[in-house]
Structure 1
């Protein structure tokens, strides 16, 4: 199921990026929120790899960067899902320097859940600006054969 959920996250993120591109206007709050999604995904990928990163979860990305960053993030997560022992524990420090140890599978589920939460906020911002957000409900995408 975790592979399916990561595929869902990948597809939903791509749909949001497509909406940003079609909008053709600045959407500062939506861009901030989506930047946070992508930055957080990258930070979690670095934590799993045991790498330090200078990326802050609140760094603002340019919409033109969204595609490449999203593809990099998902490529890494797909690699993990195919090759890693998902029950393996990973030790890392959060942004406040607090130490934690979690299973890779729990971290990946958190990535999916966190991304879904913030995509809903991005969708709200699209609506505020009169832009129809893409349908990113898991069950809808499943019914449509996209998953």
Structure 2
């Protein structure tokens, strides 16, 4: 993949997050926090996990930022605060990706796993994982939305983004 593709994925990530957060912010709190059987329990738990893991990877890649040492940690109880932090992290991710070149993608990155084990991988592989992980758990969030509301959630397909479907503005 080229840097152009990763930049597109960063933009898509932000677009899809705005769409899922618009749905999350519009539902009653009881629905938002309802246990649905997904891996991180609820829509709230899933959205927290996605923010947390992006912070973990950006800390590994840039050496900057904070993150807890548990993948199920709740960073924000308040969903508006979570949404603001998510939008800020999306902007940070886009800036980081925007600063990479084609040559950077082949560079090896050394880091430690959450358990402390040393690892080394190509930056391109890490970025593929980061965006795939986002899509995977955003699918869980999407399922949570349909389970708790009984309605079809907003489409998150990459093709919809590429075709120019607008993302809502979030009133935070």
TM range (shorter): 0.7 to 0.9
Equivalences, count: 147
Any unmatched runs of 5+ in structure 2? 34-41, 168-172
- Point out the more displaced range, 91-100 or 57-66: 57-66
- Large movers: runs of 4+ above 3 Å: 51-54, 144-147
User: Structure 2: how far apart are the matches of 1:52 and 1:97?
Assistant: 18
Which residues of 2 match residues 19-34 of structure 1 at below 5 A? 19-26=23-30, 27-28=32-33, 29-34=42-47
Q: Aligned equivalents of 1:102 and 1:76: distance in 2? A: 22
Match of 1:92 in 2: 111
| Correspondence for 2:59 among 37, 46, 51 | 46
Q: Which residue of 2 aligns with 1:37?
A: 50
- Higher Cα Rg: structure 1 or 2? 2
Report the alpha carbon displacement of residue 115 of structure 1 after superposing the two structures with TM. Answer: 0.7
| Alignment match, 2:81 | 65
Q: Which runs of 5+ in 1 are unaligned?
A: none
Is contact 1:50-1:92 (8 Å) kept?
no
Partner of 2:154: 134
**In 1, Cα distance between equivalents of 2:29 and 2:15:** 23
- What is the RMSD computed on CA atoms of the aligned residues? 2.0
TM-score, normalised via structure 1 length: 0.88
Cα-to-partner distance string for 1:54-75 (whole Å, 9 max, x where unaligned): 4232112331222222123222
1:11 aligned to which of 15, 23, 37:
15
TM-score, structure 2 as length reference? 0.76
**1:75 counterpart = 2:75:** no
Post-superposition Cα deviations, 1:52-106, rounded to whole Å, max 9, x if no partner, equal: 7442321123312222221232222222222233333221111111111122222
Measure the CA separation in 2 of the matches of 1:19 and 1:64.
Answer: 12
Equivalent in 119, 128, 132 of residue 109 of structure 1: 128
Q: Distance in 2 between matches of 1:103 and 1:11?
A: 26
